[in-house]
Copies of this chain bind each other. A is one copy, B any other.
Amino acid sequence: MQLSAETLGFDPPPPAASVGRYAPFVCHQGIVSIVQGPLWREELRYVGRVGAGIDLAQAQEAARLCCANLLVQLQAACGGDLLRVQSCYRLGGFINASENFTEHTTVMNAASDLLLKVLGEEMRHSRYVVGCSSLPFNLVMELEGWFGIAS
């Protein structure tokens, strides 16, 4: 199974550039670690603070782009076939949010919903989501995930 406009609901993003000394994913012994931001290739598409300029709908769009980028990298880790994914251990979300923001769950659900839509309900995952007082380049969000794949 591959990402497409049909499975994803929109065109798959191009692989996001690394904006630092890191790899987009690491796969070892069937365990995959990925972290992605709301980038479109090299463009920092969602920048700002939720609850202070960025509204809930925009934050959800950022979460969906983070998740789409994560799925792009997961597909690469699987050698192109997402059917090799056996488990999503966890998603973790870091949201650039104002102090009085409390709707982190609504933002994070946008990422989880997209992942479950693409990979199926059996990929339900444990999850945390927290508010951060600052993020790199003032990005709206960072999304991290751990997966188990058939090796």
Which residues of A from 85 to 122 have beta carbons under 8 Å from B?
86-92, 94, 97-105, 108-109, 112-113, 116
Contact status of A126 and B20, CB under 8 A, knowing A133-B132, A134-B102: no
Interface size on A, residues (CB 8 A): 56
> Told that A23-B127, A26-B124, A29-B87 touch, could you supply 17 new A-B pairs with CB distance under 8 A?
A21-B113, A22-B91, A22-B124, A22-B126, A26-B87, A26-B126, A28-B148, A29-B148, A33-B146, A34-B126, A35-B127, A94-B128, A94-B130, A104-B135, A130-B134, A132-B132, A133-B133
Which residue on B lies nearest to A98, using beta carbons?
A: B134
- Give 18 A-B contacts (CB < 8 Å), ordered by A residue: A20-B109, A21-B116, A21-B124, A22-B112, A23-B126, A25-B126, A26-B125, A28-B89, A33-B89, A90-B144, A94-B130, A102-B135, A103-B136, A105-B136, A128-B142, A131-B133, A131-B134, A133-B133
A88 to B132, CA, bound (A): 25
User: What residues of chain B lie closer than 8 Å to A30, measured between beta carbons?
Assistant: 29
Q: Is the CB of B100 within 8 A of A134?
A: yes
Q: Is the CB of A23 within 8 A of B128?
A: no
